[in-house]
């Protein structure tokens, strides 16, 4: 067994030994809201937003983008499980600002080994065996963090399956301070349903 | 300001007041692994898998499915940020087992208000104003939880952009006990790179 696998199972055994009343939680989020944020390891949405188990849906992907799959999840969240406010939370120093479609497609075509991050950007260290399948994926990178939040909030706001009554908030989490900073112009207050 | 927004900002102010050394964490996950799991409010992956900030990537969507967007995130995770083990973690009582494409498409076409969950399934309570845009989304529901984990692990395992050297583990988290239970036959050990 890998060290990581045994560490995760060991941590889970301790966690579940004192599970208590959490086993009785209902499916719908008790506080009726949803956070869409980045997969970045430095982010713990439960901690930075003050969530207990059962409180809120949390959707995470590379960049915290309003991808088609995030829209799928947001629609299930409000339509079937009753959430009524959405938070889009990107963060400073996001990896999605350090490459482009062209860069990652080139790196993947070269090899499937992890690239090295140099002051000149990502550099491939692999020895062949790459794949051109990356050409068929839109990687959803961005250059301007605030604009990316505005874009994601706007995409959710204007999606035909998202009711106008749901407010959508846009934030950037500062990985140096742990603070949530609202992006000016992002917030769209819900209209009367 | 909504009650939820002010609660989240209040919790964040307390959290960031004692941020300490976490502001110095690097971008690549220190423990080099990634968890793909469900957005369900009852799940706190950092708690149930023993993650500190900076340890691991966490990808979440409705169902914890290996959607195209999850694949995008997993590829960025290993190729640019050096992770080398993947966990797919679904859970018991997942909402994705309670409806089908046909059901959610019908509910959305009827209205964009939250449906009611009855013993006979979801029932619409809205008064019109629906959208047929749900016809264009594959909702990735499932009937057999173990099979869904096997399918997601298999999809990741066989994707041309995922190296064979990465082990992929498949688990179901029990929301009644907090325990991670491995799905038999899901684990695919990494091949020599």
Interface-testing mutation among B2, B29, B53, B69, with chain A (most A C-beta atoms within 10 A):
B69
Buried b (16+ CB within 10 A) or exposed e, B167-180: bbbbbbbbbeebbb
Q: Looking at the predicted complex, does its ipTM rise above 0.90?
A: yes
Q: Is residue A17 part of a domain?
A: no
Q: Is residue B16 part of a domain?
A: no
CB nearest A80 (choices: B23, B58, B115) = B115
Q: State whether B106 and B186 are in the same domain.
A: no
Chain B residue at shortest CA distance from A109: B161
| Whole-number pLDDT of residue B192 | 61
Q: State whether A162 and A193 are in the same domain.
A: yes
Taking an 8 Å cut-off on Cβ atoms, the answer to whether B5 and A85 are in contact is yes
Q: State whether A130 and A152 are in the same domain.
A: no
Q: Is residue B182 part of a domain?
A: yes
Q: State whether A31 and A47 are in the same domain.
A: yes
Q: Is residue B105 part of a domain?
A: yes
Our CA-based measurement puts residue A179 at a distance from the nearest CA of chain B, in whole angstroms, of 6
Q: Is residue B11 part of a domain?
A: no
Question: For residue B102, what are its two tokens?
Answer: 């046909």
Query: Could you read off the pLDDT tens digit of each residue along chain A, which spans 193 residues?
Result: 899 999 999 999 999 999 999 999 999 999 999 999 999 999 999 999 999 999 999 999 999 999 999 999 999 999 999 999 999 999 999 999 999 999 999 999 999 999 998 888 889 987 789 999 999 999 999 999 999 999 999 999 999 999 999 999 999 999 999 999 999 999 988 776 4
Q: Is residue A21 part of a domain?
A: no
Q: State whether A110 and A172 are in the same domain.
A: no
Distance from C-alpha of B189 to C-alpha of B193, rounded to nearest angstrom:
12
Question: What H or E segment, with its residue span, contains residue B23?
Answer: none
Instruction: Give yes or no for A51 touching B (CB within 8 A).
Output: yes
Q: State whether A104 and A191 are in the same domain.
A: no
User: Which chain A residues have a beta carbon less than 8 Å from that of B108?
Assistant: 75, 79, 161
Chain A residue at shortest CA distance from B181: A9
Which residue in A62, A114, A5 sits closest to B170, CA to CA? A5
Residue A175: count of CB within 10 angstroms of its CB: 22
Whether the full predicted model's pTM is greater than 0.90, yes or no, is yes
Q: Which residues of chain B are under the pLDDT cut of 50? A: 193
Question: What H or E segment, with its residue span, contains residue B61?
Answer: strand B56-61
| Whole-number pLDDT of residue B183 | 98
Distance from C-alpha of B47 to C-alpha of A87, rounded to nearest angstrom:
22
| Domain count along chain B | 2
Q: Domain span at residue A48?
A: 26-99+140-193
Question: What H or E segment, with its residue span, contains residue B31?
Answer: none
Q: State whether A87 and A166 are in the same domain.
A: yes
Name the β-bridge partners of A88.
A36, A170
Our CA-based measurement puts residue B192 at a distance from the nearest CA of chain A, in whole angstroms, of 12
| Whole-number pLDDT of residue B193 | 47
Distance from C-alpha of A34 to C-alpha of A19, rounded to nearest angstrom:
24
Instruction: Give yes or no for B95 touching A (CB within 8 A).
Output: yes
Which residue in B147, B148, B157, B151 sits closest to B188, CA to CA? B157
User: Which chain A residues have a beta carbon less than 8 Å from that of B93?
Assistant: 27
DSSP string, chain A: --HHHHHHHHHHHHHHHT-GGGGG--SS-TT-EEEEEE--TT--HHHHHTPPTTSEEEEEETT----HHHHHHHHHHHHHH----EEEEEETT-GGGS--HHHHHHHHHHBSSPPEEETTEEE----SB--GGGGG------S-HHHHHHHHHHHHHH-TTS-TTS-EEEEEE-TTT--EEEPTTT-BPPPP-
Q: State whether B184 and B112 are in the same domain.
A: no
Instruction: Give yes or no for A176 touching B (CB within 8 A).
Output: yes
Could you say which residues from 110 to 149 on chain B have a Cβ atom under 8 Å away from some Cβ of chain A? 112-115, 117, 122, 129, 131, 133-134, 137-140
Cα B185-B77-A111 angle, rounded to 5 deg? 90
The length of chain A, given as a count of residues? 193
> Can you give the C-alpha Rg of chain B in angstroms?
19
Question: For residue B132, what are its two tokens?
Answer: 């047929």
Q: State whether A40 and A120 are in the same domain.
A: no
Q: State whether B116 and B147 are in the same domain.
A: no
Q: Is residue B48 part of a domain?
A: yes
Question: What H or E segment, with its residue span, contains residue B4?
Answer: helix B3-17
What is the crossing angle of helices A68-81 and B101-110, to 10°?
A: 70
User: Which chain B residues have a beta carbon less than 8 Å from that of A80?
Assistant: 95, 98-99, 104, 107, 114-115, 117, 122
Q: Is residue A18 part of a domain?
A: no
Q: State whether A133 and A144 are in the same domain.
A: no
Q: State whether A93 and A182 are in the same domain.
A: yes
Domain harbouring B188, CATH code:
3.40.1050.10
């Amino acid at each position: 067994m890998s060290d990581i696998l045994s560490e995760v199972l060991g941590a889970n055994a301790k966690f579940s030994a004192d599970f208590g009343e959490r086993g009785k939680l209902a499916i719908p989020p008790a506080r009726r809201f949803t956070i869409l944020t980045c997969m970045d390891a430095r982010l713990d949405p439960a901690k930075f937003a003050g969530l207990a188990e059962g409180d809120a849906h949390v959707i995470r992907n590379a960049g915290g983008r309003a991808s088609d799959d995030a829209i799928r999840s947001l629609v299930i969240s409000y339509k079937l499980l009753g959430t009524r406010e959405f938070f889009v939370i990107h963060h400073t120093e996001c990896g999605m600002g350090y490459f482009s479609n062209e860069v990652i497609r080139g790196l993947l075509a070269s090899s499937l080994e992890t690239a090295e991050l140099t002051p000149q950007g990502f550099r491939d260290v692999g020895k062949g065996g790459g794949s051109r399948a990356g050409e068929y994926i839109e990687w959803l990178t961005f250059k301007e963090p605030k604009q990316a939040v505005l874009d994601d909030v706007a995409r959710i706001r204007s999606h035909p399956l998202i009711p106008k009554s749901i407010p959508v908030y846009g934030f950037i989490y500062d990985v140096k301070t742990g603070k949530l900073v609202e992006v000016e112009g992002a917030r769209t207050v819900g209209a009367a349903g």
